[in-house]
A and B are shown apart, each in its own frame.
Chain A
Amino acid sequence: MTTIECQAELDIAAAGALHQQLLGALQAGEPLEIEAQAVRRVHAAVLQLFLSLVNEAQSLDLPVRWRNPSPALVESAQLLGVADQLKLDSA
């Protein structure tokens, strides 16, 4: 199980670092858990990253689980219309 800790401000500047972090996590080949309690703000670029992660994990048969996604994160995902695909609606 690989856990990805999210920081509070997931803006476009944070996207680069998060991209690398996600790639690393994916390469470990273990089920993924994203700890998202701290997220206060999230950029569309970051949600796009998560989408790619979830798609790819799915094709690799790796389960992805959200832990305590913050309301800010869920609301942004809903606004972008991707909450369903990110499985954030049921989280």
Chain B
Amino acid sequence: MTRSMNPSDTFRQEAADLLATLETTLLDLEETPDDRDLIDQAFRCLHTLKGSGAMFGWEALAAFTHHIETAFQKVRDGVLKASRDLVTLTLAALDHIQVLLEQPEQADRVRGDALLAAFVDLAAAASDRSSRGKSSLPASQRKPGHSANSGSERVFRIHWRPGHDVLALGGNPLLLLDELRSLGKCAVTPMTDQIPALEALDPTRCYLGWHIVLTTSADRTALDDVFIFVADQSELVIDEIPVTAETPPRLGEILVERGDVQAADVEEALSRQQRLGTLLVQSGKVSKERVASALGEQRHLHEAAKAHESAASSSTIRVPAERLDSLMDQVGELVIAQARLQQTTVNADNPLLKSIAEDIGRLAAELRDTTMGVRMLPIGTLFGQFRRVVRDLSRDLSKSVELTMAGEDTELDKTVIENLKDPLVHLIRNAIDHGIDTAEQRQAQGKPTAGRVHLSAVHSGAQVLITIEDDGRGINRVATRTKAEERGLIQPGQEVTDAELFACIFEAGFSTAASVTNISGRGVGMDVVKRTIDSLRGSIDVASVANKGTAITLKLPLTLAIIDGLLVQMENERYVVPLSAVEECVELSRQEEEHSGGRGFLNIRGEIVAFIRLRQLLGVPGAAPDIQKVVVVALGESRVGLVVDQVIGQYQTVIKSLCRLHRDLEGFSGATILGDGSVALILDIPHLIKFARERETALRTV
């Protein structure tokens, strides 16, 4: 049984989410300091953090957050500006909250107090300024929702006709409507039918009335408060319109309910099937204004219903990650059991059993896909964290760097995303520290002063490509080569391709940086990046153009748990080729093999494809059958054939990692258990081909 989460853990998780949201909001706010929505969002995050913190007994955290919340209250009131300084300070405060959250006993009180003092100073400086030139916002410019709670929006219909002497008594409907508007979204339709001709008009008498539809999170009392001084002298009706996720009422229904028109008139108008509102107005049953007002109400209800619906459909539950992991394990076992069942039914002469086995096979495949879908997270959650990294780094290095992103919606397995964070941080740090040149150098080359780092993610078959691109100085080929020769990675005079040269930068302890900064240049990092990506069964491509920039592409599998595979056989051994890599299968007769002259090339519809004899490569004993099969796999641009004895067929493969003893075996990415209980190795195509090429080269040079 999995344990349930205790309240403290729940709060920790909630707080971590809030802090992440807050960080993103602050970084956005730095770019658009006047965005009311962002200010409100930051305030709400702080407010919730404080509230939940106090509720779950995190007093120190709540007390600390309270002061920051106060500062943001001032921002909301227009007293304090959401300046760069405030954002920087708040980000530092977030780090402190993080410590309070994770290791409260290690929190540095002095630092906390210093941060709070800085907030007080900032607020004091601002109130000095504002008392000199006060610019507090009128109600109309304040955003609605001081106690914003979009989940509980209500719709009110207000019919208001002030008494004739309301103006003479000092009332101004404008101020009242302004106040109403500050409560939420307001649709105001005037009733102007009582305005007399100009000559007969008494300018101090009020002839106007209003139909108002208000969508608000405020309650009825707040509405009554708005009208408190005029209610006695007014015709005032406030009704709450129930909002349901069902279809909102139609225009006719609203008009009838409001008593503006008879149901029969609506029926009659409907039967003519033209625009209902126009028809009713034409037939003189209702004024144009009333129809407009009813239409406004309908719009409000539509929107409120939509909000309700999306709130309902986007409801989520929080599940501990271990449960998902164990679910995935169980699905894996189910898939294996299903394979055994299928194997058994093949030999059994029982149609009923076969049909059940097929059903179970289908269900297992669906369950597998659903479970994998549950584990998928958009990579944007990870990318978002790098904005802070870039911001802080560019400050530290006094380089102006702009971070752009694309494909944040691309989904990847949770485990892959978790493991990607460190390598990506390394790559981004490298890009900014080594890649992006100084402002002067950039200007001299006619580049924009601000450097650019671009993060992107895109699906490509069963892989996800993540690219970190900068427009800096590019990798210095000469320095890299010198260093590589020094370290004996490349022989002097040896011809190497860019790919081979750039591969050197992933060697442990390799750095061409002349100076070691506290950011990078120690030669630690790139080898860690390579190891991590390898462990995720991914690969790294580097492209670099001098003075134009560097692009590092990480190719990663979508998931680590289950793949579709093609089962192949040699003698009695079976192997799995990942189906995503397979392009086609062709036959290879003995004549053809001999015809190729032992050079290992095959003519497939006019295209020359090199093939690798897996028997030889893997050292399988015995003689090959007369007719062998070639599984053609795609590897980037090129195609390579793998010669096997027999192709058995498609097979859902649950990947089991190899034991520690075998983990370093190149050419295999794992193993799987087959239906009959035997074990098959999963071929790691890129590594296998690399291994074959190296062997070939070695053989030739001998």
Which residue numbers of A lie inside 8 Å of B, CB to CB? 12, 15-16, 18-19, 22-23, 26, 42-49, 51-53, 55-56, 75-76, 79-82, 85
Contact = CB atoms under 8 A, between A and B. Distances in A.
Nearest to B138: A75
Interface string B189-210: 1101001111101011011101
B188 interface: yes
Interface in B153-169: 167
B188 to A, nearest CB: 4
Contacts of A81: 177, 188-190, 210
B326 interface: no
Nearest to A14: B203
B188 A52 contact: no
A82 B197 contact: no
* Consensus secondary structure, chain A interface: helix
Contact of A80 (B177, B195, B196): B177
A5 B208 CA distance: 25
A45 B195 CA distance: 11
A46 B140 CA distance: 20
A53 B198 CA distance: 6
A52 B196 CA distance: 7
16 contacts: A12-B172, A18-B203, A19-B198, A26-B198, A42-B174, A44-B173, A48-B195, A48-B201, A51-B208, A53-B198, A55-B192, A79-B178, A80-B190, A81-B177, A81-B190, A82-B208
A56 B200 CA distance: 12
B181 interface: yes
B174 A56 contact: no
Contacts of A85: 190, 192
Nearest to B171: A44
A52 B199 CA distance: 9
A15 B206 CA distance: 12
B174 A23 contact: no
Contacts of A18: 203
Contacts of B172: 12, 43-45
- Give the most central of B192, B197, B203: most A CB within 10 Å: B203
A47 B192 CA distance: 11
A16 B202 CA distance: 8
Nearest to A43: B172
A81 B211 CA distance: 10
Contacts of B178: 79
A75 to B, nearest CB: 7
Contact of B174 (A15, A22, A76): A76
Residue among B190, B196, B204 with most chain A CB within 10 A: B190
Interface of B: 140, 167, 172-174, 177-178, 181, 188-190, 192, 195-199, 201, 203-204, 206-208, 210
A16 B174 contact: no
A26 B208 CA distance: 22
Contact of A52 (B174, B181, B197, B204): B197
A81 B174 CA distance: 10
Given A51-B192, A80-B177, A19 B201 contact: yes
A26 B201 CA distance: 14
A53 B173 CA distance: 20
Given A43-B174, A82-B190, 13 more contacts: A12-B203, A18-B203, A19-B198, A45-B172, A48-B195, A55-B192, A56-B197, A56-B198, A79-B177, A80-B174, A80-B210, A81-B177, A81-B189
A34 to B, nearest CB: 14
Nearest to A79: B177
B198 A23 contact: yes
Given A75-B140, A80-B177, A48 B198 contact: no
Contacts of B207: 48
B205 to A, nearest CB: 8
A45 B206 contact: yes
Contact of A79 (B188, B196, B201, B206): B188
A43 B203 CA distance: 11
Given A75-B140, A79-B177, A52 B210 contact: no
Contacts of B201: 19, 48-49, 52
Given A56-B197, A75-B140, A79-B174, A45 B192 contact: no
A48 to B, nearest CB: 6
A44 B208 contact: yes
B556 to A, nearest CB: 53
Contacts of B173: 44, 80
Nearest to B293: A81
B140, B178, B208, B210: which has the most chain A beta carbons within 10 Å?
Answer: B208
B140 A12 contact: no
Q: Which 5 A-B pairs have the closest CB atoms?
A: A81-B188, A15-B203, A81-B190, A44-B173, A19-B203
Contacts of B192: 51, 55, 82, 85
Most buried by A among B174, B177, B192, B196: B174
Contacts of A44: 167, 172-174, 206, 208
A81 B192 CA distance: 10
